[in-house]
Amino acid sequence: MIAHCSSRHLTPIATAVLGMFGLTATCFAQPSGLTLKPVTVTGSRAEASSFEQPFSIDVVGAEAVRQGQLGVNASESLVAVPGLVIQNRQNYAQDLQISSRGFGARSAFGVRGVKLIADGIPASTPDGQGQVATFNLDMAERIEVLRGPFSSVYGNSSGGVIQLFTRDGEGPTKLSGRLIGGSFSTSKIELGAEGALGSGGFLIDASRFDTDGYREHSAATRDQGFAKITLRPDADSKLTLVANGLRQDDTEDPLGLTWETFQTDPAGVEDRALEFDTRKDIEHVQGGMNYERRIGSGQLQFSAYAGTRSVMQVLAIPAFVQGSPTHSGGIVDFDRNFYGVAARWIQEVAIGQGKLTVTAGADYDRSEDDRQGYENFVGDTLGVRGALRRDETDTVTSLDPYVQLAWQRGPLTLQAGLRHSHVKFEVDDDFLSNGDDGGSVSYRKTTPAIGIAYAVSPAVNVYASAARGFETPTLGELSYSGGDGSFGFDLEAARSTQFEVGAKALVGEATRINVAAFRIRTKDELVVASSLGGRTAYQNAAETLREGIELAVDSELSRTLFTRAAVTQLRAIYDEGFSSGGDTIEEGRRMPGIPRTTVFAELAWKPGGDLTAAVEGFYRSKVFVEDSNTEQSAPSYAILNLRLSAEQRRGDWRIEQLLRVDNVFDRQYVGSVIVGDRNGRFYEPGTGVAWYAGIGARYQFN
């Protein structure tokens, strides 16, 4: 139902704006207010209030994910989470670059060092490589973001954890659609259906995203599909089936720019991208199930998944570079099969006046790549498939048993976790004319975590936590990091020790403040040794040190004004010198790809629950692009975005509109960097001013 809302407090300008969207002030429901203590499962494994947990965790709700957003990139909503740096490359061939307190900043493509999970199913492979593009944002109920020491309870490459939860279908059947269009010939079409299915529910969603891209040679088409069925066999159990697919054909890769080109033509490309027609094809299909059953005071949880992923990528590696007999060529082509199972038991036990929750389980994951490499030329013709240069089967498996304890008594909460990870890489080389590049390497690590939280008052919680973690190289990082581009069996896993202290406070009934200070020391940090033509090799560095502070504020200033802000201050340095490419990297040099300061702030006006007008501000300090810090850094920048969204309900129909303007003042800035690019093409520009508008409709059957 629509609650009455008087228009006498609205200014003439506001009334005119409402009229443009076909609205009157009487069509709004009242704001629902701020959720001060959202429930989370990430970190603790069992449902618990985020306010009581001894670690940093943020929840991004469905409204923030969808309202006034395109629903294309997770960066749209995660930019408001402190500790995260999400750099939109404006390059759909390489996906977003996401780092959590510096973990993952080295990534040349996709997400590394941060664990991705969707509806309880891993979106990261066992080596730690993930693609956030597989997230379905159209049906998102919430996104939980865990940072700091307790991320290590998720095993290898868990410098942070980003977990997406889609909503369950319920109620009468609903059909929906949305159309968005805007700058750079960008469009997105969504079609969906959802509703109850017996005692459970269903969701179906399909979308197509098209763009010519801000830069030359950056066009992309992305088709996504998602389905979810929830069944409740009885009062004590729940079965969820999910499936998703992603397809991107001929996604153009504009590569990076030199500093000179960025200054003169930020929307352009270097000649290499056009000469080789650098591009990528992606096809990803995955399905899984989650089963939960309550047995007495305990709960059994079981999940399983399987899928396939195919990638063909044309790189800009010059022909003369491929003259070495051990070079693997300039085209990557692989077909991946992957699957996994996980089981855990959660038991609650009353001990005196306290409650103990014990979680014990194990995760098993496996991926197998049928991988080929080809020359990217035939004679004088570039960007075409040439002679075979690599043919192998790459297998990665991980087995992780773990146990977690959570004890709560009165104002005190204690948590502890212990996980043992065993990650194994195997290479079966079928291309033997240049020697046998086969072999295997295993990494084993036991990672403990402990945390304590104390409620000073019902409105103030303080906490401290510590943990050890580790991060193996990904398969892609191992593949080209040996001598002359061979498999890098000698790469070590990075090992980290983390500490965090923080406080969570509720100010009055409408403001939440979280603050955390952290320190991370890492040995054998994985860093870029060289990057050439889209292919990157890695090496182990000496010790690194990352320390900083995060602040998040969410507040309902009045009945109609809401604000949120996130500030991150992070000092990330090499704490010991090391050699790289014949150069000495001195102690104290800043780690590339990690800004020292990141600030996000938003002020939203909500005269009613169905209209939101907001201004967003974002600031990022300069970013170094390579280890010596001598090349031109990506300068600091600040941009301003505007968004307006509205919704009307008429009987069984619900109509929504959005209008969005990004980079209102048309600032020229570097949105992302390619760390260590040997040709100096470090810089990936952000867009100039860009606008988007959309309309959506939903019909509910009664």
pLDDT greater than 70 at residue 630: yes
Closest CA to 520 of 103, 84, 156: 103
198: exposed, middle or buried (Cβ count in 10 Å: 0-12, 13-18, 19+):
exposed
Q: Whole-angstrom Cα distance, residue 60 to residue 42?
A: 13
Mean local confidence (pLDDT), 167-172 = 95
Q: Is residue 76 within 8 Å of 66, Cβ to Cβ?
A: no
pLDDT in tens, 462-484: 999 999 999 999 888 887 776 66
What's the CA angle centered on 85, arms 664 and 188, to 5 degrees? 55
What pLDDT does 485 receive?
Answer: 60
294, 143, 623, 107 alpha-carbon torsion, rounded to 10°: 60
pLDDT greater than 50 at residue 10: no
Query: What are the structural domains of the chain?
Result: 1-30 (no CATH), 31-700 (2.40.170.20)
Q: Whole-angstrom Cα distance, residue 596 to residue 576?
A: 19
Q: How far is CA 122 from CA 45, 152, 286, 345, 616, in A?
A: 15, 15, 10, 19, 32
- Lowest mean pLDDT segment, chosen from 73-87, 222-236, 410-424, 502-516: 73-87
pLDDT greater than 50 at residue 28: no
Instruction: Categorize the per-residue pLDDT at 36 as very low, low, confident or very high, splitting at 50, 70 and 90.
Output: confident
- Lowest mean pLDDT segment, chosen from 67-76, 102-111, 365-374, 547-556: 102-111
Task: State the pairing for strand pair 377-378/298-314.
Answer: unpaired
543 Cβ contact partners less than 8 Å away, ≥ 6 residues apart: 521, 522, 523, 525, 574, 575, 576
What pLDDT does 491 receive?
Answer: 87
What pLDDT does 13 receive?
Answer: 35
Mean local confidence (pLDDT), 5-32 = 39
- Lowest mean pLDDT segment, chosen from 238-242, 580-584, 592-596: 580-584
Residue 677's Cβ-side half-sphere holds a number of Cα atoms within 13 Å equal to 26
- Which residue matches tokens 């992309």? 220
14 sits in which H/E element: helix 12-20
Q: Identity (one letter) of the amino acid at 543?
A: E
134 Cβ contact partners less than 8 Å away, ≥ 6 residues apart: 116, 118, 123, 244, 246, 284, 286
3-state secondary structure of 488: coil
Q: Whole-angstrom Cα distance, residue 19 to residue 68?
A: 18
pLDDT, greater one: 698 or 32: 698
Q: Is residue 93 within 8 Å of 251, Cβ to Cβ?
A: yes
147: its two tokens: 């940072």
pLDDT greater than 50 at residue 115: yes
**Could you give the percent of the chain with pLDDT greater than 90?**
74
pLDDT greater than 80 at residue 550: yes
Q: Whole-angstrom Cα distance, residue 250 to residue 235?
A: 48
pLDDT in tens, 56-114: 999 999 989 988 899 998 889 899 999 999 877 788 988 888 999 999 888 777 788 89
pLDDT greater than 60 at residue 5: no
Closest CA to 303 of 39, 48, 122, 115: 122
Please count the other Cβ atoms lying within 10 Å of the Cβ belonging to residue 527.
Answer: 25
What pLDDT does 483 receive?
Answer: 61
What pLDDT does 475 receive?
Answer: 86
> What burial letters (b/e) apply to 328-355, b meaning 16+ CB within 10 Å?
bbbbbbbebebbbebebebbeeeeeeee
Length of the chain: 702
What pLDDT does 33 receive?
Answer: 57
What pLDDT does 11 receive?
Answer: 39
- Lowest mean pLDDT segment, chosen from 417-421, 540-544, 563-567: 540-544
What pLDDT does 351 receive?
Answer: 86
Instruction: Tell me the pTM.
Output: 0.92
**Could you give the percent of the chain with pLDDT greater than 70?**
93
pLDDT in tens, 640-691: 999 999 999 999 999 999 999 999 999 999 999 998 888 899 999 999 999 9
Cα–chain center distance at 95: 10
Instruction: Categorize the per-residue pLDDT at 176 as very low, low, confident or very high, splitting at 50, 70 and 90.
Output: very high
Q: Whole-angstrom Cα distance, residue 71 to residue 645?
A: 14
Q: Whole-angstrom Cα distance, residue 203 to residue 458?
A: 39
What pLDDT does 23 receive?
Answer: 43
Instruction: Categorize the per-residue pLDDT at 27 as very low, low, confident or very high, splitting at 50, 70 and 90.
Output: very low
The overall average pLDDT reported for the chain is 90
Mean local confidence (pLDDT), 181-190 = 97
Q: How far is CA 355 from CA 39, 53, 206, 358, in A?
A: 18, 15, 44, 10
Q: What is the maximum span of the chain, computed from C-alpha positions, in angstroms?
A: 82
269: exposed, middle or buried (Cβ count in 10 Å: 0-12, 13-18, 19+):
buried
